[in-house]
Chain A
Amino acid sequence: MRDLTLDTPSGDGMRDLMHRLRRSGSASGALVMLAGLCVLFGLLAPNFLATSNLVNVALQSTILLLIALPMTLIIMTEGLDLSVGAVLTLANVVLATIAVKTGGVGLSLLSALAIGAVFGLLNGTLVARLGIPPFVATLGTLGVAQGMALVVTDGQSVVGIPESVQMLYSGALLGVPLPICIAVIAYLAFHVVLYHTRFGACVFALGGNREALSLAGVRMRWYLVAVYLISGLMAGLAALLLTARISAGHPTAALGIEFDAIAAVAVGGTSFERGKGWLLGTLIGVLAVGVLRNGLNLMGVSSAVQVAAIGFLVILALTIDALRERNV
């Protein structure tokens, strides 16, 4: 099964080595970008390097990481999930509504996960079973989820989130903030799944060589559906942290976060066309996007300009990726 993880023929040691080198090359690229941003804001932005601010960056990055991890898998299968921000938003308003009514975490988290699962299954079915191109299928479900979030709330915010939900963002376990605990667990789980299971090997192969995969008798459609399902579920989980953080449900709460996630994956060196990706790069990419937003915030730059800056970052990362691929 292991040979399926490479897009090069098995046993071709030299190309395997080149592949690994290139992969670490793109990771160091992401690290350079992250370090560059840290130096830049350390010089330009007051208090950027203060411990409390760095902890803040880490805390704010946790929600993005929960979204960016499954986005990495999806992009590795040459797919895309544009709906994740809208699904997260819908889960946020439903979770908030139910939490206000029941006063507890359990049922509200369950409903958020259920919404994520439904949209994930829907996306997966549209892409894998009906053969609809991912960016259009998920653009359609984006519209659906966004409209439903507005319908559910009638355009109003949901307030009065119980203490038990808010604790999930402000609380700590053995001195480590809870969101960071959740993010670390999620990262480790994705690492194990991607690099140490048959499922992970198939994710690599889905982007590299689908024909070989189906010839090898793998039911690739189910794996593809599962990848989108995971993305939906993680959006449901992220909705819990988001609701706890903003102490509200809002019908536009996380619209557009999919772009931050895609930016993190692109900066992390995962390729959009060749099914190559890796998780540590995405982690670095998430931190780079978090540092960029935080630093610009400290400098008093509006969130509109932050979005444009992330747009340039994406185009830059993709340009570097395209040029690198051409020179190989």
Chain B
Amino acid sequence: MSAIMNQFRPQTGAAAAASGAGAWQALPDPVRSVVLRLLALALLCLVLSVASDAFLTSANILNVLRQAALLFLLASGLTLVILTAGLDLSVGANVAMSACLAATVMKATGSITLAVFVGLACGLAIGVANGILITLIRIPPFIATYGMLWILHGITYWFMRGETIHGFPAAFRALGSGHWLGVPIPVYLMVVFLVVGAVFAQRTRWGQEIYAVGANPEAARLSGVPVKSRLVLVYAVSGAMAGLASLIFLARLNSAEGDIGEAMTLPAIAAVLIGGTSLFGVVGSVFGTLVGALILTLVLNGMNLLAINANWQPVVTGVIVVMAVYLDNLTRKGDGR
């Protein structure tokens, strides 16, 4: 296989000797990037299983998967946004507001269906509002969603008045803490949305148009892509996914407070960037984000197992974000782009 591939590349003697390296070079960039990250993931698992006896227990593995599932659901929508070279800083505040609204509705009416609908609709509406600010009014994405963050934050705190809503029906709690065949429900959702997200991004016209917008909005527009409506779409998807994540989070915690999702923005962005999606758009995939979510969750889980003060977690997440972008920059320079 590698010999066939190497026929098409001029080689020096040394490189020809290392035909394995040649095959590696011949792989498409996205494949190489995902393989590297999977290797990092495997290495991390190896280190953790040596460092802590508690790591390789089925209870801990399922716990990691459950946490990664929540992070992935939030980060998968964000991946589409970042593929267009945009950013959504409001996802954490969106989770908080959607969760609190859904909790209030569930308490008031007792209807799970209505609460789920309200949570999703709230997330979606916030996403659409972001999309409108960015496309129609043309406010830069990071500052529009940053302003949105604080608006949502303020309204949620005002609405909750420092109170906690807790105690939801068992049927709703199953969404976050239930199992089927021994595997947590959120993990099934993760798999479903991984497939849906990957197929949508890689195999549909709309998905490809999103990549095109990220590459060059002007060129995309000239080749007939409705740039604005695709941009509104990605922010709407990001908002709706935040709404979904808020429901799962709510079901797992079985309580809602004003600050419920606040600390989730940085990890969500971190998962996308660790997964190899570039802040400058175009490069990246939903599958990469899954690997990124797993890596970040494992790091934080490892810190827990090793009894490291939880206050260090934002420090580590911050460092990882910056390093991920830096490494991405290095690769881009390496490609001569």
Which A residues lie at the B interface, using CB under 8 A?
A: 80, 82, 126, 130-133, 135-137, 139-144, 146-148, 150-151, 154-155, 256, 259, 262, 266, 272-273, 302, 304-312, 314-315, 318-319, 322-323, 326
Contacts and interface: CB of A to CB of B under 8 A. Distances in A.
Nearest to B328: A132
B87 interface: yes
B128 interface: no
A319 B139 contact: yes
Contacts of B158: 302, 304-305, 308
Nearest to B325: A132
Contacts of A312: 151
A221 B89 CA distance: 27
Interface stretch (B23-31, B42-50, B68-76, B314-322): B314-322
Given A308-B158, A319-B137, 20 more contacts: A80-B142, A131-B329, A132-B322, A132-B326, A136-B322, A139-B89, A139-B266, A139-B269, A140-B319, A140-B321, A140-B322, A143-B319, A147-B313, A256-B150, A304-B157, A311-B153, A314-B150, A318-B137, A318-B147, A322-B139
- A-B pairs, top 3 by smallest CB distance, nearest first, are A308-B154, A143-B318, A304-B157
Interface residues of B, number: 44
A318 B319 contact: no
A130 B139 CA distance: 26
B282 to A, nearest CB: 15
Interface of B: 87, 89, 133, 137-140, 142-144, 146-158, 161, 258, 266, 269, 273, 279, 309, 311-319, 321-322, 325-326, 329
B87 A143 contact: no
Residue from A131, A140, A256, A306 having most chain B Cβ neighbours under 10 A: A140
A308 B321 contact: no
B322 A308 contact: no
A137 B309 CA distance: 24
A311 B126 CA distance: 14
A270 B260 CA distance: 34
Main secondary structure of the interface of B (DSSP, over half): helix
A150 B316 CA distance: 13
Given A147-B318, A322-B138, A322-B139, A308 B153 contact: yes
A314 B145 CA distance: 11
A137 B154 contact: no
Contacts of B279: 133, 136
A140 B318 CA distance: 4
11 contacts: A136-B269, A137-B322, A144-B319, A147-B313, A147-B316, A304-B156, A304-B258, A307-B151, A307-B154, A309-B154, A315-B148
A155 B313 CA distance: 14
B288 to A, nearest CB: 17
A326 B313 CA distance: 44
Contacts of A144: 314-315, 318-319
Contact of A311 (B147, B273, B311): B147
Residue from A262, A272, A318 having most chain B Cβ neighbours under 10 A: A318
A322 B141 CA distance: 13
Contacts of A80: 142-143
Contact of B146 (A259, A273, A323): A259
Nearest to B93: A311
A146 B315 CA distance: 7
Nearest to B279: A133
Nearest to B159: A304
Residue from B89, B138, B314 having most chain A Cβ neighbours under 10 A: B314
A221 B146 CA distance: 26
Contact of B139 (A154, A304, A305, A315): A315
Contacts of A137: 322, 325
A126 B311 contact: no
A272 B157 contact: no
Contact of A147 (B87, B146, B315): B315
Given A147-B311, A151-B311, A155-B311, A311 B318 contact: no
Nearest to B312: A147
Contact of B318 (A135, A142, A315): A142
B281 to A, nearest CB: 11
Contacts of A142: 266, 318
Contacts of B273: 136
A80 B141 CA distance: 13
B314 A141 contact: no
B154 A130 contact: no
Residue from B133, B315, B322 having most chain A Cβ neighbours under 10 A: B322
Residue from A144, A148, A262 having most chain B Cβ neighbours under 10 A: A144
Contacts of A256: 150
A141 B154 contact: no
B314 A146 contact: yes
A307 B150 contact: yes
B153 A304 contact: yes
A138 B321 CA distance: 10
Given A141-B322, A144-B318, A314 B157 contact: no
B325 A136 contact: yes
A76 B38 CA distance: 41
A92 to B, nearest CB: 16
Contact of A148 (B137, B138, B155, B315): B315
A305 B315 contact: no
Given A131-B329, A137-B325, A308-B155, A318 B146 contact: no
Contacts of A326: 138
Contacts of B313: 147
